[in-house]
Every structure is written in structure tokens, then in C-alpha cells.
A and B are shown apart, each in its own frame.
Chain A
Amino acid sequence: MKPIVFTPLLKTSSLLLAVSVLAGCSTLSNDGGASDVSKLTQPRIGFGVTGERTDSDAQASSAQVSKLLAAPLTPDSAVQIALLNNRGLQASLAELGVSEADFVQAGRMRNPGFSFSRMRGGDEVEIERSVMFDLIGLLTIPLRSTIEQGRFEQAKITAASEAVRLAGETRRAYFSAVAAAQTEKFMSQVVTSAEAGAQLAQEQAKVGNWSKLDRAREQAFYAEATTQYARARHAATATREQLARLLGLWGSNVNYKIPDRLPDLPQKPNEPGALEALAMEQRLDIQIAKRDVDATARSLGLTNATGFINVLDAGYANKSTTGAPRENGYEISLELPIFDWGGARRARAKATYMLSVNRTADAAVRARSEVREAYSAYRTTYDVAKHYRDQVVPLRKQISEEVLLRYNGMLASVFELLADSRDQITSVNGAIEAQRDFWIAETELQAAINGSGGAVSQPTVAASSSAPAAEH
């Protein structure tokens, strides 16, 4: 016996009509709800999702992935590949199919039950036959259908939310990987510069211009730079692998190409505007919470009305007893609300309702705060990256030019020149990190507005500050 929800407003006649209409009309969709999910993701991340249900689906996806992988990835193409190829997301979409099946199932009438019993005592044989219809089940098809539809919708939003989260993670991983590769390249230049310095120091010592102390100092930097370069190289590999995981790539596809440099900063940062209001409309976790409130409100109303009804079964029954005429009739079983008038259930429903109302409010408050914080991170990282681009890097460049002029005039040594080039490279690394932080913060802001919030990015401390001070 399963609990049954029941709407008190419906009258039996209309109910029956509805049953006849509904019973045959809830059918499985072609794509397991993926197109509905796409409708949710399209405005939020710019792309829809495709559930792979057949071999031809898989082939189409894989062809598209190959096509996208032919060129160096962009943030968008990375997101597209992840949406097509990430197995985790495909699992979510498959789960959506399960929900849909439940929903469709809920719209089907339960098969009638038939029971037959034969008892014999002495000469007496008693045969009972009954056909039982799940009357309440029949009556409540529309109700169950509505509820399962709600669940299905919920699952769609969840899947969309999953897709939006995946898109955000992919973008983050993409920016990290590009930045790490860029840093690796610059660090290799530091190594070159340190190597040149060490080489000169060795020569200096060989011809007698320098002591072992001076030579060792210059070589020590080279030795340290080598380890730093090794770390930078690993960071490039690690971030690349992180991206590969999200893109679902393996085999020869892991040799995917990324561009040499991060996208340029936008001309101007976006103004805060009505981001909070937008987040209230767009955020999928808020939508899930709101739907939850609606659903619990409905079930609260139902429980209030039908709290005392536990189960109602009706059926045709007949009974034949040997030597007695066959008895025909029907049977209704009804639980009498004598001991349990449903007060506890109503209280529970009410509490459940309040729970989801408060959860929704909490989600809203959190979402608003996350949007504000994400905007601050977005704006700060923009300003920092712009400052690097317009101030720090040009100044470093100017310093390098001036040091070169001083080298030309024999006012500074080649070692100062090399030390300065290392400083300059470190500043450029700082600029790369700042630019990466901006793009990640931008992604987080989108997640805070459109998705379910994201890990709010902390402006990271630039590697430049931890770089070893130049020896000269």
C-alpha cells in the first residue's frame, strides 16, 4: 500500500474524464528532456546540451568534438567540447531520462489486479474471485503525473545546473591552463638568462677575473631557476590535465592545442547594474528552491484536506461457497481516522513547507551576497590586470630599456642586464597571472549570476612576489 495524494477539488466525473485523456497521452520524449535542458543552458552559457542516447548521437558528438579540437581551443570551444564529451554530464542527462520515465510511468493507469482463492474444508469448497482496480491510483493519475512532472522539471533544472557548473569549471581550467603554459614559456626564458649568467660567471672565473665566490653566486641563481622552471612545467601539465578531464579527452585527443596567450582584457569592465536582480531570475539553484516551495505548498494543501485518508481501495468481489449461491459484490477498504486524524502528518507537511521556504530565502540571500562578492573580485582583478598591463609591465619595459642604455655606456654590467631581464620576465608573469585571475573571476561572476554560484575566486598572490630576488 502506498500513500496516495489526492486533490479535493477534483470531482470524480472530471477526474475520470481527465484519466481517460491523460492515460494514453504522457509519452517519452525523443531526447530524454535534453532540449528542455538546452533551453535553460542556452541563455546562461551560450550553448545547449546533447544527450547521447544512440550510437549515431555518439558519432555526431565525436565528429563535432574532433572538429572543435582541430583548432587551438577558445574558452567557448572548450565549453562546447565539455558539454558534448564530459561523461559526468552525460550521466546527469541519462539520469534525466530516468526521471522522465518515472513521469511517464506516473501517467499510466496501474494494471488491474485479479485475485483468486480456493479453500476447501471437508466437502466444502470456497472459491473467491476478485478483480481489484487501483481506484485511487486511477483517480490520482493526474495528481501523480503533476508531481512526477514537477520532479522531472526539477531534474531538468538540476541537469542544466550541472551543465552550467561544468561550463564554469571548464572555463576556469582553460584560463589556468593557458596561463600556466604562458608562465612556463616565460620561466624558460628566466632559465636561459640564468644559464647565460652562469656561463659567463664560469668564464669569468676561468680567465681569472672572478673569484669562486662570485662564480658560485651567479651559478646558484641558475640552479634555483632550474627548479622553478621544473615547477612551472609541472603546473602547466597539471592544469592541462585538469582541462583534459573536464573535456573528457583521452587517447590522441589529449594533444589538444591551446593558444599562446590569454584573451585580452575587455576594453571596459561591466558595470554592476542589476546583477542581483538578474541572479534572482537566472540562478538555477534559486529556481530549484522555488519549485520546491511550490511543490511542498501543493502537498501541504493536499495533506490539509486529506490528512485523515490513508488509503482507499475499492474492487469488485464475489464469493462462491459450495452449496450456496454465488455471492457478488464489491469491497472497499477504508482506514478509519479514529486514532490518527492526520495531525502529525499535517504538522510535518507544514514544517516541510517552512523548511523549503526558508531554504529558498537562504539561497536567495546567499546568491545576492555571492553576486556582490563575485563582482568585487571581477572588478578588482580587472583593475589589477589593467594596472599590470598599463603600468607595471610598461614601467618594467622602460627600466629594461634604460638598463640596456646603461650597459651600452659601460655604466652597468651584463649581469645587471640579465638580472633586470629576469625581473622583467617576473613582472610579465605577474601580468599573466593577473589576467588569468580576471578571466576566472569573470567566470565566477557568470556562475554567481547564472548557475548555482561558484567558488568565489580569491585574488591570488602573484608569483612575482615569491620569485627569488635577483642577485645583482
Chain B
Amino acid sequence: MVSRRDLFTGAAALVGAGVVSRVGAASLPEAVIMQSAATQVPPPPPNGRPYNPVVTLNGWSLPWRMNNGVKEFHLVAEPVVREFAPGMKANLWGYNGASPGPTIEVVEGDRVRIFVTNRLPEHTSIHWHGQPLPNGMDGVTGLTQKGIQPGKTMVYEFEAKRPGTFMYHPHADEMVQMAMGMMGFWVTHPKNPNFMKVDRDYVFLLGSYDIEPGSFVPKTSTMLDFNLFTFNSRVFPGIDTMVARQGERVRIRFGNLTMTNHPIHLHGHEFEVTGTDGGWTRPESRWPEVTVDVGVGQMRAIEFVANNPGDWAFHCHKSHHTMNAMGHDVPTMIGVSQRDAAKKISSIIPDYMAMGSTGGSMGEMEMPLPENTLPMMGGQGPFGGVEMGGMFTVMKVRKDQKRGDYSDPGWYKHPAGTLAYEWNGAPPEAVRSTSAGGQSMPGPKPAQNVEFNVRKPSGHSGH
């Protein structure tokens, strides 16, 4: 599966045979291909200015070639297969074998030359989102350049002037091309590696896709009703865990290429937004947060000290965004007694099982699904099913996690007395106020009383 082919140890051997023509091979830098969706922790830069590499969640960084002091990269826009999580793959468009494409890491002041080869069936271009660059390098088809035709290669060249957090994406048929997964991360490191230095620097892009269960290609004309919300084209339980050693300073940078905002929420820590697409925020402008909203087309860098050991949820706070493919027109069945109807339904649909009478949670129920789709919620934690999907992962903070070690330390072992426990005594008396509130703002009297039936849980009546 991994076609990484010694990416960082023997980079010279990595010329994608089918990608670069024999004639072009003499002048083009190698187009390295990656098909794995596992997080690839990059080594320190082999040449050029030093920097502290970022870790692309479920992604990788693109190697380069130094050519007379110019950093040369080669991006190949092409159809790719991306695993969203074990059990589901999608036919997307991406760069160098994956969607999103590889992260490009450069250093402030680097002269950068990027060869872009188009292996798509239609023309494309790349816009370097947030970069100050000559207008003709901005990558807007029709406005600043002609589209890169299928089979052709075009070159972008500019100086990475401003350090910060950027992304790249097409500005040609972008509705289709971005819906198909064409995007990538870009980090321009500061010249001084000690400037705002952090111990771990995670990056990823938010994406949304509409892939009908049982199908493989996103619907490119969907505007808002997406069913898969992704970090780097992965969904929980397919998103890698982030790890930190207790006390380490952690930066997480994310860019939003979906069609809605995402309130990104970290448990157990407060953080500050230290950077946007516009650059680093001034320290005096920062305030503590546990959730930061990243708008459409925006990027945020948050930083915090990982001082609380544990397994901390990290997710978008829109509850549908932490679900995988689900029916958006499914009626609420809460409180509906289905027993009689279920018997009738079973007589015509033998494999039918009544669901939803007590809520949406399917507990540990495992039922066959359409091919190439994921359960709405999935992933097993130490205490059972984690009823999440989509934009959800875990930040694991450990006392004994080694520096530079990104491997998964397993589940957190809670010290005695630090775990929620069941109360077996008598329920405590509820404290109620009799005087607060009152009739300060009485409304018009309703014409008639509406009856409500409050359903108290009474066992698994519907199952």
C-alpha cells in the first residue's frame, strides 16, 4: 500500500516513472508520489536554510531539489484514491498520489520554483493562497494565466517572503476541482528557527465531501449538504491521533476549504490563536480560547502548552460535522412504540430491525451497511464506542512521551480517583429556587394548552 519508496532516505530514486517524460526528466525535479494515508513525520531539512518541520496529519511533506539556490518542487495534479477511513475509499483528484497534496515547507526568503504537471482530464492552475507574490504567479485562470492544459507542465516562481501559514488550491474550475479534493498545505518557516519555536507543529486542511454511500466519487455540485467532513480528507476513526509530551508547546494549524465555518474545539486545555492567514498575531491581541471558529477560506494557528495528561477530544463543534454519512431526512423516532409495526414490517422485510425509539445511538449494534461507506459513528475507545465520526480526533498528552516521538502511546490510564464513577447512594435532593425569575415578562396567553408527553427512559423498549 505504501508506495513511499524511501522517500526521504533515497530521494533520487523517486522519480515517478509514468509522470515525467524522458526529455523533461533532465530538467524537471522528481515528482514524488505518496499513496499512504498515514502521517509521515518529515526529517530535518537535508539542505537549504534550517527549519523545524511541521507534521501533516495523515499527510506528508514534499521533498525538493536545490537548483542554483532555488528550491524546486514538482507537483502533479492527478486522479488519486484516498482512504477516508478503513472501509471506505474515494476516487478524488489530488497531487502526487494523494488528496490533499503534500505540504510544501520553505523558509522565509527562499526562492521557490514549482513545476506543476497536469494529469487531469481538464485544465487546472494553482493559486498560492495568502502568499505575497508577483501578480502573474497568483494562479487565477483567465485573470493572471492560461489554464495548464492536460499533459502540460507550467512553472511558478516567486520568493517566499512572509513567514506563516498558507495553502494551495486550484483557481480553475474550482467548484469541481476543490470538491474533488485538490488542495494542499504550505508553511513558510521563519528565517530564525527559534522564532516562536514550538515542540510540535501539526497542520491539516478541513474539507467536506458529498459521497453517496455505496459510491466512490464526490458529488461536485453539492453546495451545503455534505456528508463527510474531513481533516486532510480523513474522517474519524481514520484521523491520526496527535500526541504531545506533557509540558510541550504544541501548535496546530488548520485551513478551511469547506463551504461553512468550523468551530474547532480542544478539550482539557486553553489555547491562543497565534496566527491567521495574514501572519502571526501580536501577543497583546491574543485571548484564551477553547474553541476557535475558522471561517471559509481562512487559516488559524493555535498554540498551547500541553500541561494536562490524558486523551483529549479535538473536534469541530458542529455536531453533524462529527458524524459520517447519515440520512438528513430521517424522521425522529424518539418515543415511537414500534413493536406492533415492527412485526408487520418483519413479515415483509425479514432483516428489519426497529431503531431510534430511544434516540439515535445504536450502541454496539453492528449491522451490514452499503459498500464503501462508514458507520455514522464509529471507533472504539477504552470505554466503548466513541459515538463520533467526521472531524474528530484525539490529542494525547503523556508524561513519558519522548520528544520527537509521534507514535501512539495507547489509551490513557487514569490515576485512581480521577475517573467519573457511578453513584450508588440515595439521589441528592434537588436545590430549587422559588423566588428567582417570576413574571417579569409575561407573554400573551396561548390560545390553548399544548400537551406534551415527556418520555422518561424505560429500558430498551424499542429494541
Contacts and interface: CB of A to CB of B under 8 A. Distances in A.
Interface of A: 189, 192-193, 195-197, 199-200, 203-204, 206-210, 214, 400, 402, 404-415, 417-418, 421, 425
A197 to B, nearest CB: 8
A405 B331 contact: no
B213 A410 contact: no
B338 A408 contact: no
Contact of A192 (B335, B348, B355, B376): B348
A411 B341 contact: no
Interface of B: 213-214, 325-327, 329-338, 340-342, 344-345, 347-349, 351-356, 360, 362, 367-370, 373, 375-376, 452-453, 455
B333 A414 contact: yes
Contacts of A192: 344, 347-348
Given A207-B453, A404-B351, A410 B341 contact: no
B370 A405 contact: yes
B336 A204 contact: yes
A415 B326 contact: no
A118 B367 CA distance: 116
Nearest to A409: B369
Contact of B348 (A193, A200, A214): A193
Given A409-B325, A410-B355, A413-B327, A207 B335 contact: yes
9 contacts: A196-B345, A200-B338, A207-B335, A407-B355, A410-B355, A410-B362, A412-B327, A414-B352, A418-B345
B236 to A, nearest CB: 16
Q: Is the interface of A mostly helix, strand, loop or mixed?
A: helix
Contacts of A411: 213, 325-327, 330, 370, 373, 376
A75 to B, nearest CB: 30
Nearest to A197: B341
A297 B197 CA distance: 122
Nearest to B343: A196
Contacts of B355: 407, 410, 414
A189 B331 contact: no
A409 to B, nearest CB: 5
Given A192-B347, A200-B341, A402 B335 contact: no
Contact of B337 (A197, A203, A405): A203
A209 B332 contact: yes
Contacts of A402: 214, 370
Given A207-B455, A402-B370, A404-B352, A195 B327 contact: no
Contacts of A425: 348
A203 B368 contact: no
B348 A209 contact: no
B344 A413 contact: no
A135 to B, nearest CB: 85
Nearest to A413: B330
Given A408-B367, A409-B367, A409-B369, 18 more contacts: A192-B348, A199-B341, A200-B336, A203-B337, A208-B452, A209-B331, A209-B333, A405-B369, A405-B370, A406-B213, A409-B325, A409-B375, A411-B327, A411-B330, A411-B370, A413-B331, A414-B345, A414-B352
A149 B355 CA distance: 81
A413 B370 contact: no
A150 B40 CA distance: 103
Most A Cβ at <10 Å: residue of B354, B367, B375, B376: B367
Nearest to B365: A408
A238 to B, nearest CB: 26
Contact of B336 (A203, A405, A412): A203
A417 B345 contact: yes
B150 to A, nearest CB: 35
Nearest to A200: B341
Nearest to A402: B370
Contacts of B341: 196-197, 199-200, 203
Contacts of B335: 207-209
B360 A410 contact: yes
B370 to A, nearest CB: 4
Contact of B369 (A199, A200, A408, A415): A408
A413 B360 CA distance: 12
Nearest to B337: A203
A214 B342 CA distance: 20
Residue among A214, A409, A425 with most chain B CB within 10 A: A409
Contacts of B325: 409, 411
Contacts of B342: 196
Contacts of B348: 189, 192-193, 421, 425
A410 B330 contact: yes
